[in-house]
Amino acid sequence: MDGVSLNTDPVVDDDADADEFEIEGDCGMAECISQSGVIQGENPLPPVVGMEFDSYENVYYFYNCYAKEQGFGVRVSNTWYRKTKERYRGKLSCSSAGFKKKSEANRPRPETRTGCPAMIKFRLMENKRWRIIEVELDHNHLISPVSGKIYKSHKQLGIGTKRALQLDSAEEVQKVRLFRTMVIDVEGNGSVEVSSGEFRSSHNQTSQLRLKDGDAQAIHNYFSHLQLIDPNFFYVVDLNEKGCLRNLFWSNTRSRVAYGYFGDVVAVDTTCLTDKYQVPLVSFIGVNHHGQSVLLGCGLLAGDTIEACTWLFRAWLTCMLGRPPQVIITDQCRTLQAAVTDVFPRAFHCLCLPRIMQKVPEKLGGLYEYESIRMALNNAVYYSLRPEEFEATWEDMIHHYGLRNHVWLQMLYEDRRQWVPVFLKEIFLAGMLPTRPNEVVESFFDGYLNKHTSLKEFLDKYDQALQANHQVEVLADMESRNSGFMLQSRCYFELQLAKLYTNNILRKFEREVEGMYSCFCTRKINGEGEVITYMVREQIEVDGNRRESRDFEVLYNATEMEVLCVCGLFNFKGYLCRHALRVLHQNGIEEIPHQYVVSRWRKDIKRSYVLNHSNGGIDINNPVHRYDHLYKCIMQVVEEARKSEVRYKDTVQALDQILRKLNLVEGRL
């Protein structure tokens, strides 16, 4: 199979001064399409900057497949040639791009183009592969894969995508599925020297996964099985120059669909890499509407190099159709920071606070007066309400204990805006970044994976972990929808959200409602203008064994119904804090303003874990197409049938009738 890869080499216009000329138009491309193609059959993946192809023709084939899926035609807008007649750059556009030249005919044809901006640009790199360097996916006109319109570019495409497949057995279908899976490859670009020593060369012992006897076969068997039961199961492999497995990524349908609902904040768990587990697992984790962990994809990496992490992030982003998260959370690691900056430049990168604080005994335990230093550090990190307060407390700690030259603390301070809560109050974190002392982050695979678990054992337990997680979510859904939440108070805020939110989130919000009544002093300190400033006093627990009174500043705008507390709990957790509730209550507000009712916690939103690529019909002569379509239909039935006992019984009865009918038909043949 001709490969398509996501590479980490920088995109540079290295031929800017070369002898070149440009040709517009289709250039006879239709006659040059490679019959092998880049991705066989229908292609649900959109183009992404960084994808690489073996030839110019394969870029066209790939984009044409994508266009056919989406319902638009393709034409070659520009092709750049050197004087040696070698192509080195191209641009493919929607067939509605630009406008036709004005005709002087008496009855000119009507204008059919719309000046559509959708296009891709690509160029020939030094490694003789063609890389996509610019992408625009949005059209300025309606497109529909079910319109039935046949575009000129698709007429040639039919040769590659509609060829007859004589497949009868499950094994043959499996081969087609494995063949249709992309291979994402990374060309190592040497070592990178950094003072921290966290970057490593890609040309060392981490050039391939350390697999034991039977591991490769276990991976192949497991993935082959998943490909048959889950048509939208996605995996990509990275092979080294010898063809050995170096890195691996995979994600099932449920994870891919869950990302559409809960992909705003994503954590990357690299514990298995940093703690040297036998299974070098990297997990992408989100939280669902119950505040429970949700798996969004997994990878195995041969080593924690920049190249490997960048490859994995690009593979995951491709799987999620090029939609990056708003916030991404990782360990404090220069390698990860470099990869996140490269692949997710627009996402806010947070560092995992609990993981940082877990390192305190290891990094500072040998210091004189360690316990006092630990308490001073906790005070600066957890109890600072304003940036200037943190800066002053941190400086006092550094000066008092003579820590000016401590390398680890220096690194922490340099990264403070990515992990200290006081700097993260404007970032919505959906409860994924614990901001209180003694809070820990549990791994999604706790109880299923430890340092000594082999890869074969892990693959055996992998489905158990997913099923257990799924069952917990289903039970929580049933509890939230079918049983009333036992309210601890008759507060109207709690009554309001009890009708909307899941029970797990309500239990967390309930603590804020209870805390609202423990705020013993609320005074107005500024009543001029639209924004009124209140000071709310509360007794808080410090270091687990003493309490002290703290004042929390709350801003309230009655005109816009906005309330903002200095504690920042709403962005941290996704619901209003006790201080903001106290101010709303004091002003006679009976309902939480709509902008503070977060849709991701709602129980009344229908969430169907069925992936829909909006395919424009199927070829009923193709058994793979039949299988995919039937699977999607039956999964919709399953989603509806599981919601009640009556629906379940009706569905089982209907399926039995279908099976009996099919058996009768088969008996007549």
Indicate the pLDDT class of residue 148, thresholds 50, 70 and 90. low
Q: Is residue 656 part of a domain?
A: yes
pLDDT at position 92: 94
Give the percent of the chain with pLDDT over 70: 78
Give strand pairing partners of 119.
Answer: 93, 136
Q: What is each CA distance from 285 to 443, 537, 575, in whole angstroms?
A: 9, 36, 21
pLDDT tens per residue, range 189-214? 332 232 233 333 333 445 788 888 88
The string of DSSP codes covering 63-132 is HHHHHHHHT--EEEEEEEEETTS-EEEEEEEETT-S-PPPP-SSSPPPP-------EEEEEE-TTS-EEE
* Whether residue 648 sits in one domain with residue 528: no
* Whether residue 467 sits in one domain with residue 324: yes
Host domain of residue 502: 483-601
pLDDT tens per residue, range 529-545? 889 999 999 988 776 66
pLDDT of 314 higher than 60: yes
Q: Is residue 370 part of a domain?
A: no
Indicate the pLDDT class of residue 279, thresholds 50, 70 and 90. very high
* Whether residue 640 sits in one domain with residue 495: no
- When comparing pLDDT for 546 and 262, which is higher? 262
Distance CA 343, CA 284 (A): 15
* Whether residue 218 sits in one domain with residue 341: yes
pLDDT of 104 higher than 70: no
Average pLDDT over residues 90-116: 75
- Whole-prediction pTM value? 0.67
Biggest distance spanned by C-alpha atoms of the chain: 94
pLDDT at position 240: 80
Average pLDDT over residues 583-600: 93
pLDDT tens per residue, range 415-431? 999 999 999 999 999 99
Q: How many domains is the chain partitioned into structurally?
A: 4
Residue recorded with tokens 């490679």: 34
* Whether residue 657 sits in one domain with residue 526: no
pLDDT of 87 higher than 70: yes
Q: Is residue 234 part of a domain?
A: yes
Residue recorded with tokens 């039937």: 630
Distance CA 480, CA 602 (A): 10
Backbone conformation region of residue 392, classed left if phi is above 0, alpha if psi is from -120 to 50, else beta: alpha
* Whether residue 226 sits in one domain with residue 144: no
- Helices 623-641 and 645-668 pack at an angle, to 10 degrees, of 150
Q: Is residue 28 part of a domain?
A: no
Average pLDDT over residues 37-63: 70
Q: Give every CB contact of residue 108 below 8 A, 6+ residues apart in sequence.
A: 102
Indicate the pLDDT class of residue 157, thresholds 50, 70 and 90. very low
Give strand pairing partners of 23.
Answer: 79
Q: Is residue 639 part of a domain?
A: yes
Which of 133-147, 285-299, 482-496 has the highest mean predicted lDDT (pLDDT)? 285-299
Position 538, amino acid: E
* Whether residue 574 sits in one domain with residue 487: yes
* Whether residue 344 sits in one domain with residue 222: yes
Q: For the stretch 90-103, what's the b/e string if a residue is b when 16 or more beta carbons lie within 10 angstroms of its beta carbon?
A: bbbbbbbbeeeeee
Q: Is residue 508 part of a domain?
A: yes
Q: Is residue 542 part of a domain?
A: yes
* Whether residue 345 sits in one domain with residue 249: yes
pLDDT at position 340: 95
Q: Give every CB contact of residue 518 below 8 A, 6+ residues apart in sequence.
A: 538, 539, 578
Distance CA 34, CA 61 (A): 8
Average pLDDT over residues 366-385: 93
* Whether residue 219 sits in one domain with residue 275: yes
Average pLDDT over residues 481-507: 84
* Whether residue 277 sits in one domain with residue 232: yes
Distance CA 613, CA 253 (A): 12
Q: Is residue 377 part of a domain?
A: no
* Whether residue 647 sits in one domain with residue 503: no
